[in-house]
Amino acid sequence: MDVIRLYGMRFYGRHGVFSEERALGQPFIVHVEMRLDLSLAGRTDQLEHTVDYGQVYQRVRRLVEGEPVRLVECLAERIAAELLAAFPLLESVGVTVAKPFAPIDGVLDTVEVAIERTQDRQSQR
């Protein structure tokens, strides 16, 4: 399967368990890996035979900058569901959401949640 990757999308969101996180907000970094057959797009050079990267970016941005959720896991799930629903050419999608300033009493670079979802699994929900 071929892959389209959008790495390092940076947004400001208000997600978190604590009220301070939801009030103040913080940066989130999202990586998306979309798996699909790109052979027709490669032969035809037509946008309709692939996924529009700009639309992917805008959909992810709307979710991260939009309605707050408590868990990064929930945010990742919403992103995956949105992309699979919006782009039927996708066979599967991997979503990683990083929260560099997670409120943890300790030193670490970031907290990340990574999920994988497929069209088949999505259609069962």
Active site residues: 99
For residues 52 and 86, what is the distance between their CA atoms, to the nearest angstrom?
A: 11
119 and 84 Cβ atoms separated by less than 8 Å: yes
DSSP for 53-84, please give it.
HHHHHHHHHHHHHSS--S-HHHHHHHHHHHHH
For residues 111 and 113, what is the distance between their CA atoms, to the nearest angstrom?
A: 7
For residues 9 and 40, what is the distance between their CA atoms, to the nearest angstrom?
A: 27
